[in-house]
Chains A and B, each alone.
Chain A
Amino acid sequence: MVTVHFEKNNTTRNVNSSAKTLALLLKELGLNPETIIVTRNNEVITEDEKISADDTLEILSVISGG
């Protein structure tokens, strides 16, 4: 289970995913990489980064809110 926290609405989801990379996980979640920045342990990661089941990811929204 990958834990994903969404900054935009301050929610957390446990995602049951077999995605091996961040790019595939984002595709499963229906998220456009152009509109977000992803961090793991407070470090920004790129889409080719490998994902493991015990990861906790933070999804930061790029688009301004108003």
Chain B
Amino acid sequence: MLCHKCDRKAVIVLQHSGLCDAHFLAYFEEKVEKTINKFRLIDRADSLCVAASGGKDSLTVLYLTKKYLLRYQLPCTLFALSVDEGIKNYRKSTLRDLKTFCTKHEIDLHIISSKEEFGYTLDQAAPKIKKLQQKKACNICGVWRRFLLNKYAKKYGATKVITGHNLDDEAQVVLMNMFKANTTLMAHLGPQSGVEEHEQFASRVKPLYFCTEKETRLYALLKKFDVSFTECPNAQEGLRAYVRDMLNDVEARYPGTKQGIINSFLNVMPLIKEREMKKPQQLNMCLVCGEPTNNDVCNACKIKEALDGMSRGAKKVEVSPKKTSLKPKRVLIITKTKSEKKKTNNEKKKNIK
């Protein structure tokens, strides 16, 4: 197939027409620029933090954000923030790619270590939490990453956190939330995450919102970004993988399906956000670390306390407020798992006999 804009060979077929490498790169960059402009993702007063892992999405969004700032001569500061969770045979190689990229493009990079922040690498934490709460490594990773990105983006003065979420990611989450009837989580989606702005949260924006995963990979490939394909050893084949595969099957048969899901979602998104804003919401400061949470203690601290409790061999974990006391000293009770409860019941029965 030939490019529909010139007579060179196409590198991708979009809907019914092809684009050559040069015209595809221009198309992709224009799409990202239009997304930023249409949804006002970047303001000239912003300090921008790009959440980067070293994969194709984050390197692409990092590169294009810098290009956007230069094109519009915006005085925004820009830096990359990465979390080293401590995953053996995985994170080191992606961080190496990220460091090389940031050095080449003269972008400041901050790397936050889970080990230094929480005292545990993900590899150390995951088997313990799995034993205690039947939670998967991805559950801990997600909580810790969100916590660290928000905390350090604020610490380094960012007004916005830019993420590399693409159209596939968003379409998958829209469907997953529909499957689970979770309109509350759905209200947090969109090119700019969250229901309303809050000083405790750095606003999250997604310039690659309308770029498919395939387009992003092709862009990174044609731009010769050094991205090595390494699979996280914890990558799970849960609902997301199922929805991803299903969507790709439908897309192959009916091109434009993913875009259709996003367009439909964007049509109803204002209504969903409006409804969520009417709900009474209370934001607390975590009694342990002082970061924002819906509860008294944030999930990141709960995980850490559970791990510390296991290390001490205790089920009761004492939590001491760091800041001037909002509430009295608290004791967190780690709930017993189903298997633990069953074991206790069996022991009780034995004793009765």
B234 at the interface (CB under 8 A from A): yes
Contact of A44 among B21, B230, B235 (CB under 8 A): B21
B13 touches A62 (CB 8 A): no
Contact of A65 among B12, B213, B235 (CB under 8 A): B235
Complex Cα distance, B168 from A35, in Å, reads: 11
Complex Cα distance, B41 from A12, in Å, reads: 43
Question: Which B residues are CB-close (under 8 A) to A48?
Answer: 1, 13
B217 at the interface (CB under 8 A from A): yes
B170 at the interface (CB under 8 A from A): no
Whole-angstrom distance from the CB of A59 to the nearest CB of chain B? 11
Question: Which A residues are CB-close (under 8 A) to B251?
Answer: 34
Question: Which A residues are CB-close (under 8 A) to B232?
Answer: 65-66
A62 touches B214 (CB 8 A): yes
B244 touches A63 (CB 8 A): yes
A46 touches B12 (CB 8 A): yes
Complex Cα distance, B12 from A24, in Å, reads: 17
A64 at the interface (CB under 8 A from B): yes
What sequence of 0s and 1s flags, for each residue 12-34 of chain A, a beta carbon within 8 Å of any chain B beta carbon?
A: 00000000000000000000111
What sequence of 0s and 1s flags, for each residue 222-255 of chain B, a beta carbon within 8 Å of any chain A beta carbon?
A: 1000000111101100000000100011011000
Complex Cα distance, B232 from A63, in Å, reads: 12
Total chain B interface residues with beta-carbon distance under 8 A: 29
A32 touches B248 (CB 8 A): yes
Which parts of B189-227 form the interface with A (CB within 8 Å)? 213-214, 217-218, 221-222
Question: Which B residues are CB-close (under 8 A) to A8?
Answer: 229, 231
Q: Knowing A34-B251, A65-B229, say if A46 contacts B244 (CB, 8 Å).
A: no
Looking at chain A's contact residues, the main secondary structure is: loop
A1 at the interface (CB under 8 A from B): no
Q: Say which size band chain A's interface belongs to.
A: 20 to 34
A53 at the interface (CB under 8 A from B): no
A66 touches B235 (CB 8 A): yes
Whole-angstrom distance from the CB of B206 to the nearest CB of chain A? 15
Q: Knowing A44-B222, A46-B11, say if A64 contacts B55 (CB, 8 Å).
A: yes
Whole-angstrom distance from the CB of B333 to the nearest CB of chain A? 33
Closest B residue by C-beta to A47: B13
Q: Knowing A44-B11, A60-B217, A64-B213, say if A34 contacts B229 (CB, 8 Å).
A: no
Complex Cα distance, B251 from A32, in Å, reads: 10
Complex Cα distance, B12 from A43, in Å, reads: 12
B84 at the interface (CB under 8 A from A): no
A46 touches B18 (CB 8 A): yes
A7 at the interface (CB under 8 A from B): yes
Contact of A46 among B13, B229, B252 (CB under 8 A): B13
Q: Knowing A62-B213, A64-B56, say if A35 contacts B248 (CB, 8 Å).
A: yes
Question: Which B residues are CB-close (under 8 A) to A46?
Answer: 1, 9-13, 18
Q: Knowing A37-B221, A65-B235, say if A32 contacts B249 (CB, 8 Å).
A: yes
Whole-angstrom distance from the CB of A39 to the nearest CB of chain B? 8
Question: Which A residues are CB-close (under 8 A) to B252?
Answer: 32-34
Question: Which A residues are CB-close (under 8 A) to B231?
Answer: 8, 65-66
A56 at the interface (CB under 8 A from B): no
Whole-angstrom distance from the CB of A35 to the nearest CB of chain B? 5
Instruction: Return 27 A-B CB contacts under 8 Å, by A number.
Output: A8-B231, A32-B248, A32-B252, A34-B214, A34-B248, A34-B251, A34-B252, A35-B214, A37-B221, A43-B9, A44-B11, A44-B12, A44-B221, A44-B222, A45-B9, A46-B10, A60-B217, A61-B229, A62-B214, A62-B217, A64-B55, A65-B229, A65-B230, A65-B231, A66-B231, A66-B234, A66-B235
Give residues in B with beta carbon < 8 Å to A.
1, 9-13, 18, 21, 55-57, 90, 213-214, 217-218, 221-222, 229-232, 234-235, 244, 248-249, 251-252
Cβ-closest 8 pairs across A and B: A66-B232, A65-B231, A44-B11, A34-B248, A62-B217, A62-B214, A34-B252, A66-B235
